[in-house]
Structure 1
Amino acid sequence: MTRSQFPPDPYARPQRPVRQAPGDSHRSALVVALIGAAATIVAALIGLFVQLSGDVEQRASGPSLGGASPASDAPDTSVVPRSSVPPSTSGASGGADGPAAPAPTAPTPTAPTPVGLPEEFLGRWQGYAEEVDATSTDHYRVTVELDQGALREQVGNVHYAMESSDCYGTVTLTAVGGTDQVILGESIQSGNCITNGRITLTLRPGDTVDFAYESTKRDGTRQSVRAGLERVA
């Protein structure tokens, strides 16, 4: 027999429907609202954390393609644009295919070699000479007069005023050592002197020259004469 087949119990207490208190519905709505707000806050925090994590990872991984490195604040020069490379130049900078060519050097100027008797030697020179040989020493006056002339040309004359004899001769320009030295070839025309000899004149300060004469005597011995001459005309 089912429950519906039993007669109702006359002694049973009647069941009342359960009523929900008015405050319970408000509390439930408040709980739901708090749970929604908390979920929204949690979602916002999660999104902010994800964004901050991405920024930190991007900074740690280095500069982007269009930016600069935060550590150096210098532009990325790993790739140089072709247009920024300076063109190669010829000359001292050289090229890409070989070493730089040395810069041309200006030639060192040299004093021109005189082709004739330097004008510093022009005029009359006079002084006392000392002649030394194996047997005796003589002193006498020497006079040299020089005029303009080219190499291998006669440029003047010479006079030896000795006690035993006066000797006169001509001199020919044979070599020029710059502007301060000349070499003359002597040829005696008269007097008891050696016919041929060599005279070297060297300029000194104060309008003076050193006179040096060298020759060989008839007996084969060397003859040497030294003098200091001053310009007298």
Structure 2
Amino acid sequence: MTRPQSPPDPYARPQRPVRQAPGDSHRSALVVALIGAAATIVAALIGLFVQLSGDVEQRASGPLLGGASPASDAPGVPDTFVAPRSSVPPSTPAALGASGGADGTPAAPTPTAPTPVGLPEEFLGRWQGYAEETDATSTDHYRVTVELDQGTLREQVGSVHYAMESSDCHGTVTLTAVGGTGQVTLGESIQSGNCVTNGRIILTLRPGDTVDFAYESTKRDGTRQSVKAGLERVA
């Protein structure tokens, strides 16, 4: 059953349709776009921050230089660190050699042992001649023989023989000094005979295979004794 419609009120005020201003729709769209852009930027910043935080955390927990393991928090386990290899070889004594030290300074020369001083070859052999002995009371003459062999300083290098009327004296001689190739000094030690036990002999080379023989000593009574001779090489 259909209800009959009421007749229009003749005194009612007619209503106008609401009209929207043309600019309202544009402003609403712009606001929505700005909000969307701001949300996108914020989301991008949050993503970037999360990514950077992950990288920092990964670097902090990642391997050290040269493949070393990260520091261990376990007690009693030492941290391991491997230094990076250098392309410059280390300086070693073999690399430095004799050219100099690590700072470029010349290397000090290696000291060498000095060559032992020996009896010159010109004195080697047997020497013989007649000597004249003088002291405070008398003068005597007798034959002197000196035999010399190779040797160095403070070594025994030969023997000496004094053939006197009263006694034959035999002894040894030790090289004590070398004055170039022309003179040597010998220390005499008498082993048998009635002679002064110790004395000094100086031999000086002369032309024609001869030497000057000069002997000095002190007798038991404190007087000086000297013997001079010219000796020739006999062997």
Corresponding position of 1:92: 98
Q: Kindly tell me: are residues 24 and 139 of structure 1, through their superposed partners in 2, closer, same or farther at Cα, counting changes over 3 Å? A: same
> Shift of residue 134 of structure 1?
1.1
Corresponding position of 1:21: 21
TM-score (norm. length: structure 1): 0.52
Q: In the TM superposition, what whole-angstrom CA distance separates every residue of 1:180-213 from its partner, at most 9, and x where no partner exists?
A: 1000000000000000000000000000000000
Q: Say if 2:72 and 2:79, in contact at 8 Å, map to a contact too.
A: no
- Runs (4+) of structure 1 exceeding 4 A deviation are 1-89, 91-98, 103-114
SS in 2 for 1:5: coil
Moved more, 21-30 or 67-76: 21-30
Q: Kindly tell me the number of residue pairs found equivalent between the two proteins.
A: 228
RMSD: 11.0
Separation of aligned partners in 1, 2:124 and 2:61:
92
Q: Say if 2:100 and 2:107, in contact at 8 Å, map to a contact too.
A: no
Q: Kindly tell me: are residues 46 and 223 of structure 1, through their superposed partners in 2, closer, same or farther at Cα, counting changes over 3 Å? A: same
Q: Kindly tell me: are residues 108 and 232 of structure 1, through their superposed partners in 2, closer, same or farther at Cα, counting changes over 3 Å? A: farther
> Shift of residue 63 of structure 1?
84
Separation of aligned partners in 1, 2:56 and 2:154:
98
SS in 1 for 2:28: helix
Q: Say if 1:185 and 1:196, in contact at 8 Å, map to a contact too.
A: yes
SS in 2 for 1:3: coil
Q: Percent identity between the aligned chains?
A: 93
Q: Say if 2:175 and 2:185, in contact at 8 Å, map to a contact too.
A: yes
- Structure 2 residues without counterparts, runs of 5 or longer: none
- Structure 1 residues without counterparts, runs of 5 or longer: none
Q: Say if 2:214 and 2:228, in contact at 8 Å, map to a contact too.
A: yes
Q: Kindly tell me: are residues 109 and 225 of structure 1, through their superposed partners in 2, closer, same or farther at Cα, counting changes over 3 Å? A: farther
Q: Say if 1:182 and 1:200, in contact at 8 Å, map to a contact too.
A: yes
Separation of aligned partners in 1, 2:53 and 2:197:
116
Q: Kindly tell me: are residues 220 and 108 of structure 1, through their superposed partners in 2, closer, same or farther at Cα, counting changes over 3 Å? A: farther
Q: In the TM superposition, what whole-angstrom CA distance separates every residue of 1:119-152 from its partner, at most 9, and x where no partner exists?
A: 0000000000000111110000000000000100
> Shift of residue 83 of structure 1?
46
Separation of aligned partners in 1, 2:189 and 2:68:
94
Q: Kindly tell me: are residues 60 and 145 of structure 1, through their superposed partners in 2, closer, same or farther at Cα, counting changes over 3 Å? A: closer
> Shift of residue 109 of structure 1?
20
129, 146, 149: which one aligns with 2:148: 146
> Shift of residue 229 of structure 1?
0.1
Separation of aligned partners in 1, 2:130 and 2:195:
17
